[in-house]
Amino acid sequence: MDAKPRLGKMRVYFYYGIASRYSYLAATQLERLETETETGCEVRRLLLCSARLTRRRGSDPFSGSPPSGQYDWGFRRRDAEVWAEYYVVPYLEPHGRVTYDGDRSRSPVSPPSR
């Protein structure tokens, strides 16, 4: 989270991965962060192409056998379901449901506007 004061409000840059279960879960909490908490911050939503970032990194923890338990599909699905239950939000597993051509976006991360 990158935060800067703006007219008395904190600005938070939220980088959203379109096919990320964790981005979805975090996004369900943004309105509360903006309106119902003492922060009253301004949230700037920016698209993040995590597939391109993974390729740039040079290793993909999602292809082949998982390097650790946190990358196991079953664990990730159950973990997201538990968080959704905690946040009291609906959850539908994105794996196999989302097609997104991240190469068509202009960059893996759009820099925050200043």
**Domains, the chain, ranges and CATH?**
3-104 (3.40.30.10)
pTM, rounded to two decimals: 0.67
C-alpha separations of 112 from 10, 15, 48, 91, 92 in Å: 14, 10, 12, 29, 29
Which neighbouring-strand residues pair with 5?
Answer: 10
The pLDDT tens digits of the residues spanning 17-53 come to 877 888 999 999 999 888 877 778 889 999 887 777 7
Integer-rounded Cα Rg, in Å, for the chain is: 16
